[in-house]
Amino acid sequence: MSENKNYDAKKERKKNRSRLWNRLNKNHRRSQQLTKKYGITLEDYEVMLESQNHTCKICATDKPLGVGTWKVDHCHTTGKVRGLLCNNCNLGLGNFKDNPAVLASAIKYLNDSAETTNESL
């Protein structure tokens, strides 16, 4: 039983050290994640954000919303990074499966219903 306690305590110390390192090295960790997931560095991310005037590439809001910060939008087929989006726009594209035809259909639907709504007023 005492071996299990020692093992658990050692495991907990290791986990705490890892958490502390991650907290103290946030930028390094973020850069690693961006490079691994999207093939860009933290500097690339910051340059992209600056070129977008710190706004969402779709709706131009200056608030990323949701959890975390700006979302890196990328093509799921090629992996190519397209830009930085707010949480709402990122979820919107995801819900439409990044399919331009479905998005065009949604736009037509909204335009048609706006015309119908305006005619009834």
pTM: 0.74
Residues 34 and 58 in one domain: no
pLDDT value at residue 42 = 94
Task: Give the number of domains in the chain.
Answer: 2
CATH number at residue 79: 3.40.1800.10
Residue 12 reports pLDDT greater than 80 = yes
Domain that holds residue 2: 1-39
Residues 11 and 38 sit within 8 Å (Cβ to Cβ)? no
Q: Which residue has the higher pLDDT, 30 or 1?
A: 30
Question: Tell me: the pLDDT tens digits for 23-61?
Answer: 777 788 888 999 999 999 999 999 999 999 999 999 999
Residues 117 and 60 in one domain: yes
Residues 10 and 34 in one domain: yes
Residues 72 and 99 in one domain: yes
Cβ neighbourhood burial of 42 (10 Å; 0-12, 13-18, 19+): middle
Residues 61 and 115 in one domain: yes
Residues 71 and 26 in one domain: no
